[in-house]
Amino acid sequence: MSPYRPAYLTHEAKFDPFIAWAKGSESCPSAVSASFFQDPDSPPPYAIQFVRQVNFGAVEAKRYFIPDPEASGVRVEFVEITEQDLIAGNFQKLNSYKNFKCATHNKFFEVNLYQKDPVNRHHWRMNIARPASDIDL
């Protein structure tokens, strides 16, 4: 895998641990419950979306990860969550991403960053589960 149009981002410190973990991960991570999102005082600092697709083709997989709050040590570990967990946690996609390409396997990989939306919960468009097209003004 090689970077596709690499750029240094302001959120680089969040991408680097995930990419290092993904390269060193030998097993398939297990999903974690949404209980990490039920405590509004200590939500995960960010979430990562990993998308794998055929180059210029169909999406094969979309997976979501958060830093493991129970992990100890120097290396950051990640646990898998669902898209519904992101919605329940009121996370929004940032305009911060990294792309990779594998010419050998004809695959394209996209790594996106999500963070908790700072907008108040009483706001009219609370999260991505309620698209603007569904709102009757």
SS3 113: strand
pLDDT digits (tens, 9 = 90+) for 5-30: 777 777 888 888 998 898 876 555 55
pLDDT, residue 130, reads 54
Percent of all residues in the chain with a pLDDT value above 90, rounded to a whole number: 25
Residue 120 has pLDDT above 90, yes or no: no
Pick 37 or 122 by higher pLDDT: 37
Nearest-angstrom CA–CA distance, 79 and 31: 6
Residue 107 has pLDDT above 90, yes or no: yes
What average pLDDT does this structure show over 73-84? Answer: 85
Specify the pairing of strand 59-67 against strand 2-3. Answer: unpaired
pLDDT, residue 131, reads 53
Pair of tokens at residue 135: 């709102």
Whether pTM exceeds 0.85: no
Tell me the pLDDT band of 49, cut-offs 50, 70 and 90. Answer: very high
Distances (CA, A) of 48 to 7, 106, 113: 17, 23, 5
Nearest-angstrom CA–CA distance, 3 and 137: 44
Nearest-angstrom CA–CA distance, 107 and 100: 8
SS3 10: coil
Residue 71 has pLDDT above 80, yes or no: no
Tell me phi and psi for residue 88, to 5 degrees: -65, -35
Pick 37 or 81 by higher pLDDT: 81
Pair of tokens at residue 62: 């979309």
Nearest-angstrom CA–CA distance, 34 and 123: 23
